Structures are given as C-alpha cells and as structure tokens.
Copies of this chain bind each other. A is one copy, B any other.
Amino acid sequence: MRRVAVVGVGHTNFVFNSPKSGMELLSEASMEAIHASGLKPKDVQAIFCGNVLGDFSEGQGMIHSYLADDIGCKNVPAMRFEGACASATMAIRDAYMWVASGFYDIVLAGGTEKATAMGTSLATRTFAMFSDARYEYPSGINFPGIFAMLAHLYSRKYGIPLQRLKEVMAQVSVQSHLYGMKNPRAQFQKEITAEQVLKGFMVSSPLQLHDCCPFSDGAAAVILASEDVAKKLIDQPIYFAGVGMASSGKLSSQYKYLPRLRAREVAAKQAYDMSGVKPEDIDVCELHDCFSIASLIAAEGLGFAEFGKAGELWENGETRIGGKIPINISGGLKSKGHPIGATGASQVYEIVRQLRGDLVAEGRQVEGAKIGMVDTLGGDGVIVNLILCAN
C-alpha cells in the first residue's frame, strides 16, 4: 500500500443555529480544502462524507451526491458514512484506504452536521438512537446519563470520591475553554473558571453544564492524496501513520469492563501496531471530550496515563502546551463545539495544522509537533476511530 497524505484542510465556524444547511456548510469546508490543496473540484476523484442527523434535522439523506454536484465534482463516486460522532473519521479512514490501495490519487473526505435547529431536548432524544434502542435507550438512558454513569463507575473503581472527581473534571473543561478562546472557529471563545464549572446546573449527576459539550452546526473537510501527488501539490504534506477502528455493541456488553471502553483499547493497539508509534511518541492529541469524564477515560485508553490516573495530567498541566501530552488544543468538543458528523474531520483538521506549525499566530501552537493523534468516539463507546498522523 502507498503512503497517503493530507494536502489541504477546510473548516467552517462551529456555531449555534447556522443559517446554512448541512450541505452548504460542507460545501464551504470542502471548497476551502480543495483550494488549500492547489486543486480544482474537477481534480477530486471521489467523495467520502460523514453525516448523522441530516435526514432528521433537514429531511435530506444522501448529501454526498448533492454535495458533489453542488461544488462541481461532477459524477464522482460519493458515499455517506454513519458511525454517530465517529462518522467523519470513518469517512476519512475509508478514504485513506482507497488512496493507499492505488485506486484513487485525490479524494475529498469530511463531515457535516446541523444539530442545533431541533433544539437541545429533541436533539438529545434523537441522538439517543445511536445508543442501543432495544434494551438500553428504553430503560431511560441517554448520552448525559450514560457518561454520568461512567463517572460514577470511575469514582468507585479507582477510589476517587465523587466531589474530588468533579474538581478534576472541572480542570478538563477549564483547559478546553482556555484554548478554545484562541480558536477563531470555536463556538465558545471565552474563558471559564473551575468555580463556574462547579456551580453549573446539574445535567445528570455528577455531570454539570460545563462537563457537557454543546450541540453545534458545522463542517470540516480534508483532501487526501497519494505521496507522489502530494509532493507535487504542496510543500508540507502530513502523512497518515496508522489507523485503528473497533466496535463494541451495546454498552452492557462490556459492563464488567466499564468505565474502560474496550473499543478504544482495541483500536489503539491497531493504530500503534500499524504505525510503530508508542503513546509517549505522540506530540499532540485531539480526543473525544463529549463529556469531561470522557476525556479522562480516553487519555487512559490511549495509553497517556495509568487507569484511574488521567486526572493528574490535567491537574499538573501536562495536557497543556509544553506539557507531556498536549490534548485538545483546539478547545475540544467542549469549547470548539460538536457538530456530530463533522467532529472527526475537525479533529484531523486541527492535528494537520498542528503538525504543519500553522497555529503560531493563534497562540496555540505545540512547538515542533511531529506526531499527532485523533481519537473519535461514536455513541457510548460503540465505535472508536483513531488516526495517527506524522509530518
């Protein structure tokens, strides 16, 4: 298989209640990525889209084909991937294979979502379709409830009193906003304090308002190219070093394993084995912080901390620029926003820019970053997608 590079990236602002449709958002991100790659739409050989709620929120399925026609990629093969929050990384991982195999030289992959128009309550109900609808959703569980339960399990398993865990989780959200305020694409560009987090209204105990990411509208896209094409197009291709994906089915199928999430650990082994990279080699990581507790679980599953110890990373500043493993320097889902089907592409966008050294002007560059990791969680641990990139 051939080496594959990202040659251009695009990203809309992440906002509440965008006046644009999901397709218009993805068109905007796609055209930015195409132009950044020195290409024209007619150069794109195939399109890979992540989108979750398009049919529900806008009555539009099959956006891949309409997108292709709208942006001038006439008659190209186009596909839509659904893996809940991991939809866009699913699309990107798949696009990687079609280029690595030699079948295509230049493809567009990304994701989009309009999640806010239906309002938070309906969105929460709608999104619960991406948990198990046979046994688990009917028992009254939704996503805030699931992650609250994981927080309780985390507290008990690792002997961390709940109030202490809440203080640790608050540090996760505080850091996300600290960097999100420097990200011009972020939904919330403002600082928050630990005190604000701990005074936030209770969403699902122990998770308070600022432990939860928002719903958002937005899109992101990347252009993938074979190594030889990439070198002709741009000076600084960022290469795929490894990919990993695993599933785990309904949450209760791993009830003895929780709060660890088996899919992430299986996917991480795949990505590390394929790339030869170790957790300690990673210079910057975007991980799936849909809730503050999810960040701790992810950091441990990826091998950045011992199980039960990830809180120390945040409390000691090791997840900040200059620390041992800078995490979510984009602001993460919490501050940058979480347009579900776009989130994975947004994470890849961020890592590519970090590895290029593009973020100096925004005051949030991880200096000399050479290896970056993207971690996207679909649903309640149902799918985990990992992408490792290197410059």
Contacts and interface: CB of A to CB of B under 8 A. Distances in A.
A374 to B, nearest CB: 16
Contacts of A94: 79, 94
Contacts of A378: 62, 65
Interface stretch (A82-90, A159-167, A362-370): A82-90
Interface string A115-134: 00000000000000110111
Contact of A62 (B68, B70, B379): B379
A55 to B, nearest CB: 5
Given A59-B137, A133-B60, A247-B64, A81 B83 contact: no
Scoring A66, A94, A103, A248 by chain B CB atoms within 10 A of each residue's CB, the highest score goes to: A66
A386 to B, nearest CB: 11
Nearest to A51: B82
Contacts of A201: none
A352 interface: no
Chain A interface, DSSP helix/strand/loop, else mixed = mixed
Contact of A247 (B1, B21, B76, B247): B76
Task: List the number of copies, as a whole number.
Answer: 2
Contacts of A82: 61-62, 80-82
A268 to B, nearest CB: 12
Interface string A94-121: 1001101111000000000000000000
Contacts of A137: 59
A132 B70 CA distance: 12
Contacts of A133: 58-60
B103 A97 contact: yes
Interface in A234-271: 245-250, 253, 262-263, 266-267
A78 interface: yes
Interface in A277-327: none
A384 to B, nearest CB: 10
Contacts of A60: 129, 132-134
Interface string A16-28: 0000010100000
Interface string A46-62: 01000010011011111
B248 A65 contact: yes
Contacts of A76: 246-247
Interface string A371-382: 000000011001
A335 B375 CA distance: 46
Contacts of A58: 133
A117 to B, nearest CB: 14
Contacts of A21: 134
A112 B81 CA distance: 15
A383 interface: yes
Contacts of A382: 62, 65-66
B75 A263 contact: yes
A77 interface: yes
8 contacts: A61-B84, A64-B83, A65-B379, A65-B383, A69-B247, A69-B248, A75-B247, A79-B90
